[in-house]
Amino acid sequence: MFTPKLHIPDGFINLPISALFGLLSIAFVALALKGAAKTLDDRTTPLAGLTAVFIFAAQMINFPVAAGTSGHLVGAALATALVGPYSATLALTVVLGVQALLFADGGLTALGLNVFNLSVIAVWVSHFAIIFFKRVLPKTKTSVAFAAGAAAFLSVPIAATGFSIQYALGGTGTIDAATVATAMLGTHFLIGIGEALITFLTVSSVIGTRSDLVFGWQEKLEIKS
Amino acid sequence: MSKVSKRFYLYFLMASILIAGVLSFYASSSPDGLEKVAEDKGFLETAKDSALSESPLSDYGVAGIEDDRLSVGLSGVIGVFVTALVAFGVFALAKRMNRGATN
């Protein structure tokens, strides 16, 4: 039965730090809107919209990772591989907005914190990781899916560290920030394995049927190595 | 849009509806990574309810529907369509900015 809180609630992080990350998030989303404008065309726009839809749906599937702990997809690497980093930032932001405003999942003052960790940090870590893995792997479609999976694995603990930094700056709890950071890394390392599997399988199946639409496959033609 | 593309996008949408509307009921109800850490490290009680916590779809259930399977499934399907509406709006806007920039 699905009754989870998927994202940072209000109260964990104080208002000044929440506001700071709110402003940072607005800046990055504005940049993404501008960047996405350059990459979207009539063919790729529907895939970008459906990527947001798929991520919303997939985030509802919490999978068990250890005793009494679950994880769920973030979808940053998945979106980055399919539609590129700018559109991925927009897709993740739409998902987080719908979750916070319609389902009361993730706080309202915490929205900027969540957007920064998932739509900005996780997406851009994924983007550079995908570029790196594509350079070292053979130029095949399977490599793109593998690169996306490996990026997914890295993106989750790094995004979790985004929360740890926010907690260190403005956490309202009394426990020390280093303890929180260690615990966040430990659990999210495990969740990253699930993220990698789901991302690999989804990117594999899309690239297998419609590689012509996949940013991570098309864009490789432009990368000179 | 070609027929092939239409079918591909339709499959993508159907998969999302199936996941959000049906499979979501079988999701693990254990706390996720962040909530678990907050619980173990004793800062879970610093969480405040969202200002929208009384909204009709809060916590992925539809207010007034007693049956859990129906409640979570319906909220998932509503979420899929609202996400689609907002996302297509945002991406259409981004694309229009593209046209404006190249002219």
User: By residue range, what is the domain housing residue A186?
Assistant: 15-219
Sign, CA dihedral B77-B79-B83-B85, equals positive
Instruction: Assess A140–B contact: CB distance below 8 Å, yes or no.
Output: no
ipTM: 0.94
Report chain A residues whose CB lies below 8 A from the CB of B58: 103-104
Alpha carbon distance A165, A47 (integer Å) = 33
Chosen for mutation from B32, B57, B69, B75 (greatest number of chain A CBs closer than 10 Å) is B32
How many other C-beta atoms can be found within 10 angstroms of the C-beta atom of residue A155?
A: 31
How many other C-beta atoms can be found within 10 angstroms of the C-beta atom of residue A180?
A: 22
Alpha carbon distance B66, B87 (integer Å) = 30
Residue B13 is assigned to a structural domain of this protein: yes
Residue B47 is assigned to a structural domain of this protein: no
Chosen for mutation from B12, B67, B91 (greatest number of chain A CBs closer than 10 Å) is B91
Residue A7 is assigned to a structural domain of this protein: no
Contact between B35 and A9 under an 8 Å Cβ cutoff? The reply is: no
Cβ pairs bridging A and B (under 8 Å): 248
CA distance A136 to chain B (A): 30
User: By residue range, what is the domain housing residue B60?
Assistant: 3-28+56-102
Question: Between chains, do B27 and A2 touch, taking CB under 8 Å as contact?
Answer: yes
Residue A52 has pLDDT above 60, yes or no: yes
Count of structural domains, chain B: 1
Q: How confident is the model at residue B2 (pLDDT cuts 50, 70, 90)?
A: confident
Residue A130 is assigned to a structural domain of this protein: yes
**Cα-to-chain-centroid distance, residue A215:** 16
Residue B46 is assigned to a structural domain of this protein: no
Chosen for mutation from B40, B83, B88, B98 (greatest number of chain A CBs closer than 10 Å) is B83
Residue B41 is assigned to a structural domain of this protein: no
From A106, A84, A110, A109, select the one nearest A219 (Cα to Cα): A84
b/e code A93-104 from CB counts within 10 Å (16+ = b): bbbbbbbbbbbb
User: pLDDT, tens digit, for every residue of A99-133?
Assistant: 999 999 999 999 999 999 999 999 999 999 999 99
Residue A53 has pLDDT above 80, yes or no: yes
Alpha carbon distance A74, A129 (integer Å) = 16
B56: CB partners within 8 A, 6+ apart: B62, B63, B64
Q: Which of residues 46-65 of A touch B (CB under 8 A)?
A: 46-50, 52-54, 56-58, 60-65
How many other C-beta atoms can be found within 10 angstroms of the C-beta atom of residue A21?
A: 26
Count of structural domains, chain A: 1
Residue A92 is assigned to a structural domain of this protein: yes
Task: Give the CATH number, domain containing residue A189.
Answer: 1.10.1760.20
Q: What is the pLDDT of residue A224?
A: 40
Residue B51 is assigned to a structural domain of this protein: no
